[in-house]
Amino acid sequence: MAQQTVGLTAFGGYIPRLRLQRKAVAQANAWVAPNFLGKGKGERSMANWDEDAVTMAVEAARDLLGPDDDRSHVDALYFGSTTMPFKDRLNSGIIAAALTLSEQVRAVDVASTQRAGTSALMQALSAVKAGEAKHALVLASDHRKTKAVTAQELDFGDGAAAVTVGTDNVIATYLGGASLTVDFVDHFRGGTEEFDYNWEERWIRDEGFAKIVPRAVKAALEKSGVSAGDIKHFVMPCSFGDKFVQQLAKRSGIAPEAARDTLAANCGETGAAHSLVMLVHTLQKEAKPGDKVMVLHFGGGCDALVFEVTDKLSSQAGKRGIVGSLANRTEETNYLKFLTFNGLIEWEKGMRAEQDKKTALTTLYRNEDMLMGLVGGRCTETGVIQFPRSRISVNPNNHTVDTQEPYKFAEKKAKILSWSADFLSFSMNPPNHYGMVVFEEGGRIMMDFTDVEAGTVDSGMEVKLVFRIKEFDEKRGFRRYFWKAVPVAANAAKSQTGQAAE
């Protein structure tokens, strides 16, 4: 029996649209850290206040899965991140609920290392190879917090990537890979700590990357039976600069020009997501059928995987991916806003923010598909679509009873009917935009808007829906998620302005 082809079957990506200008950060901090002025170039991606590793992963997954309601084919979900919002509540379970995946899905959180993304991918590859999964969804996402006035706040970015692993319509065949596990502590984040603690960069570069990566490369080449000279794309996150990555490739016998863009200039390093972010970027930009790609991620050792791109790659042409995400950008020059969004500033939120945000978990579970998956109802007799679902239909002409079947709203076309920009109610990013969103096929939801600037919204504007944090319950460490509307035209206009200014 011929060896079954296992590999990547699709990809998706998501980078938050805000791009913090490093110059603004460096200048604000120059009084205490003039040494960072030299790093004040380019931009890093910056999550909105209502985004975390889970919400970004959901966005990357939606890009991959497309608008189809039926996602029952996904039978495994591996989520890699070092910034999972919950220590004990299955984070991939939240993602599965938001994506309305089948209850039968095997969902696994992979954490505690920068190579969580590649390790998640390796687990998925193993599961598919073993025949235990047919369509495994791999998500990697990170939203790392950094102390103010650190190199990390300039180097890091926020983002997520998604790939699926399967045996049909493979766009990149898995040829083999290796994992080295080395307890090399270049940085760590203690179990109760919010921030990384870092050791000297020169040691990390010379004793860590320079010595450990080549060993991983060698092992992966051996496992895959590919020679170093055949690697066309050397995909490895690293914040020591492109030149260093090229040298590292060269040292392993790989052509230096195979070293792919680390996206340091326009995105920043997205933590455990970054190898997959770079992989998706490479598949969108440079990769051609027949090319061999090596994906690496350093951290507590190193993962290295080798793929061969197939002619099915063209099936992914419509994806936003990382290239599309990077193009949808809004420049942010307000460093204080970045600090505030990341909880680094104690600011007076006003008495309206004192309201208790305790979430009734019973209510949440009872209404899980509604709250997590944005699932409403459709009357099987009259076809009337509504949100939320109810036993008695809202249809004014026929209040049918118990006729509703679940109906998914998240991927449907919708427009703004009415709205306001509210300066009174508490918002992490005032004014608080919200309004009535009306769906083309039927149904409407009064909902929060996000990723929006004052003065850009009006009735009739198209929106798309995104899964976001609704509220933080700071007292109990919980966070509520729900869906929000993003005005599309407003974003497009902003993005164009941003690019023109580039």
58: tokens are: 């959901």
Tell me the closest approach of the beta carbon of residue 336 to other proteins, in angstroms: 22
Tell me the closest approach of the beta carbon of residue 404 to other proteins, in angstroms: 12
Residue with Cβ nearer other proteins (324 or 406)? 406
User: Counting beta carbons within 10 angstroms of the beta carbon of residue 385, is it exposed (0 to 12), middle (13 to 18) or buried (19 or more)?
Assistant: buried
Contacts of 319 (CB under 8 A, 6+ apart): 10, 11, 12, 13, 63, 64, 284
Residue with Cβ nearer other proteins (159 or 373)? 373
Tell me the closest approach of the beta carbon of residue 160 to other proteins, in angstroms: 24
Tokens 């009535």 appear where?
Answer: 436
Tell me the closest approach of the beta carbon of residue 443 to other proteins, in angstroms: 7
Tell me the closest approach of the beta carbon of residue 202 to other proteins, in angstroms: 49
Residue with Cβ nearer other proteins (171 or 445)? 445
Tell me the closest approach of the beta carbon of residue 81 to other proteins, in angstroms: 24
Contact criterion met (CB below 8 Å) for 51 and 144: no
Counting Cα atoms < 13 Å in the Cβ hemisphere of 424 gives 1
Helix/strand/coil (H/E/C) assignment for every residue in 238-272: CCCCHHHHHHHHHHCCCCHHHECCCCCCCCCECHH
Tell me the closest approach of the beta carbon of residue 337 to other proteins, in angstroms: 20
Residue with Cβ nearer other proteins (185 or 417)? 417
Tell me the closest approach of the beta carbon of residue 348 to other proteins, in angstroms: 12
Tell me the closest approach of the beta carbon of residue 486 to other proteins, in angstroms: 14
Q: Is 181 helix (H, G, I), strand (E, B) or coil?
A: strand
Residue with Cβ nearer other proteins (327 or 428)? 428
Residue with Cβ nearer other proteins (42 or 442)? 442
Gap between the Cα atoms of 301 and 381, Å rounded: 59
Strand partners, 449: 485
Residue with Cβ nearer other proteins (288 or 358)? 358
Q: Which residues of this chain interact with other proteins, rule CB under 8 A?
A: 350-352, 355-357, 359-360, 362-364, 367, 370-371, 384, 386-388, 390, 394-396, 416-426, 431-432, 434-436, 438-439, 442-448, 454, 458-460, 470-471, 480, 482
Residue with Cβ nearer other proteins (386 or 491)? 386
337: tokens are: 């806003």
Tell me the closest approach of the beta carbon of residue 145 to other proteins, in angstroms: 24
Residue 460 phi/psi, 5-degree rounding, is: 90, -15
Strand partners, 139: 79, 162
Q: At what angle do helices 116-129 and 274-285 cross, to 10 degrees?
A: 70
Q: What is the DSSP secondary-structure string of 111-169?
A: -SSTTHHHHHHHHHHHHHHTTS-SSEEEEEEE-----SSSHHHHHB--EEEEEEEESSS
Counting Cα atoms < 13 Å in the Cβ hemisphere of 353 gives 15
Helix, strand, coil percent values for the chain (each to nearest 5): 30, 30, 40
Contact criterion met (CB below 8 Å) for 390 and 439: no
Gap between the Cα atoms of 383 and 441, Å rounded: 10
Tell me the closest approach of the beta carbon of residue 178 to other proteins, in angstroms: 45
Q: CA dist 469 to 1, 83, 85, 386, Å?
A: 49, 15, 11, 23
Residue with Cβ nearer other proteins (343 or 350)? 350
Contact criterion met (CB below 8 Å) for 339 and 148: yes
Q: Is 357 helix (H, G, I), strand (E, B) or coil?
A: coil
Tell me the closest approach of the beta carbon of residue 453 to other proteins, in angstroms: 13
482: tokens are: 């729900």
Tokens 């011929």 appear where?
Answer: 2
Residue with Cβ nearer other proteins (88 or 356)? 356
Residue with Cβ nearer other proteins (116 or 371)? 371
Residue with Cβ nearer other proteins (9 or 386)? 386
Gap between the Cα atoms of 293 and 315, Å rounded: 18
Tell me the closest approach of the beta carbon of residue 352 to other proteins, in angstroms: 5
Residue with Cβ nearer other proteins (454 or 492)? 454
